Amino acid sequence: MLSRALVLVLAAASLSPAWAEADDCGDAAALVQQAYPRARKSADGASFTLEPHTSIALTSAYGDPPGLVCKIWPAHDDLLLVAVPLMDTSQPSGYAHAGDIELLVIDRKSRQVRQRLLQPGLMDDDAIAIRKVELDTGRYALAPDVSAFGLRIEMANNSLPNPFSETDLRLYAVDGDALRMVLDGLVVAGNGGEGDTNCAGSFHTSQVSLAMSPAKHHGYHDIAVVERMDTDNPLPDSNGECQSYPGKSVSQTYRLRYDGSRYTVPARLKALEP
């Protein structure tokens, strides 16, 4: 499968994405207890358990499933965005994990949950493992009165001869008392290829720029996307030194249109299914 390395650039209205992990959570334990009154804290205080077998980690170490992620929403700075990985502890230990993510929009003053949305299966992984979960609070101005925020999930394998990684973006907007997804699984970062682990190989990357277009469909601005694709075929020279042999860059343009429910993602840029 062709791998794609994509870098998101928000060009319109000087937009720039911003990501965060647990830094804005404050008292993360109190936040979890407020949002999940029936949660039981572990003896070491590092996680909570929801019956019958769901775990919420406040932080995470390398190799563990990601923990709680929080970010103040600049577009609505009275609100705190929280991504809560809900891991299924009934699964056998090993490389594979199973779990969901619940997104919370919390009033920063009262700490009450205003909106929440469960995303089933987003924490499922196996040989291509989830490395990081981030909130993207770039100013995604979809309409004059509608701003969205993003959830990024980074996945990668551990293969040296066939490296692969992918970061997927999903966008969410507040709709009255509800939170809903408006963009599902656009690949925004990644890399891949095949090599001999010493030098020789064939690798491909791409960069994607996104900008809000003046054109609208169903009241939401289109999103203009330009994908730049690059290749490299490194080989050792006569002295045994590894040399890069990049190919010619190729660009392709897309337009994401809102269909009244979600933005349609081109097949080439669709994320791996969880």
Residuewise pLDDT in 10s, the chain (274 residues): 333 333 333 433 334 444 444 479 999 999 999 999 999 999 999 999 998 899 999 988 777 778 999 999 999 999 999 999 999 988 776 678 899 999 999 999 999 999 999 999 999 998 899 999 999 998 889 999 999 999 999 999 989 999 999 989 999 999 888 999 999 999 988 899 999 999 999 998 877 778 889 999 999 999 998 888 899 999 999 999 999 999 999 999 999 999 999 999 999 999 987 7
The rounded distance, in Å, linking the Cα atoms of 116 and 175 is: 11
The rounded distance, in Å, linking the Cα atoms of 216 and 124 is: 35
Polymer length in residues for the chain: 274
The rounded distance, in Å, linking the Cα atoms of 192 and 162 is: 7
| Residue 94, pLDDT score | 67
| Residue 120, pLDDT score | 96
| Residue 211, pLDDT score | 84
Tell me, yes or no, if the pTM score tops 0.75.
Answer: yes
* DSSP code per residue over 177-235: TEEEEEEEEEEEEEEEEEE-SSS-EEEEEEEEEEEEEEEEETTEEEEEEEEEEEEE--E
The rounded distance, in Å, linking the Cα atoms of 27 and 21 is: 14
The rounded distance, in Å, linking the Cα atoms of 81 and 25 is: 9
